[in-house]
Amino acid sequence: MMLYLLLATLLSLSYSFNIPASNLIETSNIIKSKQFEKSNFDVTEIKKFFKNDDNYNPTYSVGIIGATGAVGQEIINCLHNTKFPVSELNLYTSKKSSNKIITTPFGRHYTKEFNIDDAKECNFLFLAVSGDFSKKNAIELCEKGAFVIDNSSAFRYDENVPLVIPEINKHKIKGKRLIANPNCTTAIALMALFPIFKLFGLTKVIMSTYQAASGAGNKGIIELEESIKDKNYKNEIFTYPLAFNVIPHIDKFQDNKYTKEEMKVSWEIQKILGVPDLPVSCTAVRIPTIRAHSEAITVETEKPIDYNLLKTEFDSFSGLKVVDNPEKNIYPMPLTASESYDVEVGRVRPSLIFGDFGLDMFVCGDQLLRGAALNAVLIAKSITEEI
């Protein structure tokens, strides 16, 4: 009976993770070598056996829900550029956008209307849709074992759902099927904040953000471009015309007079760093750039800052690029950060307010990549490393 169970499990693993069937020839050798005692049969050990095999090269069925949107399109590109092992790509859309051929780095694919039963068969699902959709479907999508990575705010503040930036807290993923992707502004800020937090601790974070039109999706980009081109300063997406303007208002105002976007930054930094009482204040401003968010950040630290040590940490931190040479007018900008996988940090200088225990810096990152698609794909890659 145990032999049948063993064979069935091996076949299941081969099917689920696309392990070459030829590897199953080794099954008899495993049994003969008594690698698995009949009384203590462990699937984890079988996985380890395959992982140690030179031919172990699993691939995964991937679904993207919201595949034709700005973030969905970038997820497809990031899967390809990071060499994520995709065996099957499912592009889920609304009924209106379904049954259309789109060209991807993986070839030409038909979009298809979202069907929850079909989607549940995927190994990985990326949700690039509204929070309402995620609240309705995300948990059910996990039922058959799919890993669901949600780009909306639906589960970010749920204590049972990890909010993850892999370079910072990928250990939170272990044992979870539903993982939340942070707000774009938070993700960009934390790439520079975490090395400071790690070395010197943080007691206060004060920031102002300058957020591109694409933060409001493709419609935001179109509205800005058409307004500039036609000099017709309309506003349907933004509260006021964005062309040649800045708007200190993103998302809804809350009872405390901060906007929800600003509070997201505060809540999410606290959760990801694991410091729920860390004071974080943010002012979020929409500006007339197409892509990449910028952030002016001031921090107070627990320990005095050693800038040589910080420079070394910045240089070695994956996903962060030091762009800081004021003498040559080199500093972070949307122009250089757009379409880059790295977040730029520069203008690093001691704070005139907090002295040795604080600094000011300027950070810029592509919010469609580090702030959304890239971070989601890196979460998925972190999961594959644990399978």
46, 194 Cβ separation under 8 angstroms: no
C-alpha span between 240 and 102 (Å, rounded): 34
Task: Kindly name the residue from 78, 122, 184, 282 that is annotated as catalytic.
Answer: 184
The span from the CA of 365 to the CA of 294, in Å, is 7
Phi, psi torsion values for 221, nearest 5 degrees = -65, -45
Using the structure block, give the residue that is written with the tokens 């690093």: 348
Going by DSSP bridges, is the β-strand pair 204-211/293-300 parallel, antiparallel, or unpaired? antiparallel
Q: What is the dihedral of CA 132, 134, 140, 141, to 10 degrees?
A: 150
Choose, from 78, 282, 293, 364, the residue flagged as catalytic.
293
**DSSP symbol at 244:** T
| Rg of the Cα atoms in the chain | 23
> Contact, 320 vs 258, CB < 8 A?
no
Instruction: Report long-range pairs for 30-38 (Cβ below 8 Å, ≥24 apart).
Output: 31/3, 31/6, 36/6, 38/2
Q: Which residue has the tokens 């090395």?
A: 195
Residues 6+ apart with CB under 8 A from 219: 236, 237
> In the annotation, is 293 catalytic?
yes
249: annotated active-site residue: no
Taking the CA atoms of 362, 366, 370 and 372 in sequence, report the sign of the dihedral they define.
positive
Catalytic residue positions, numbered = 184, 293
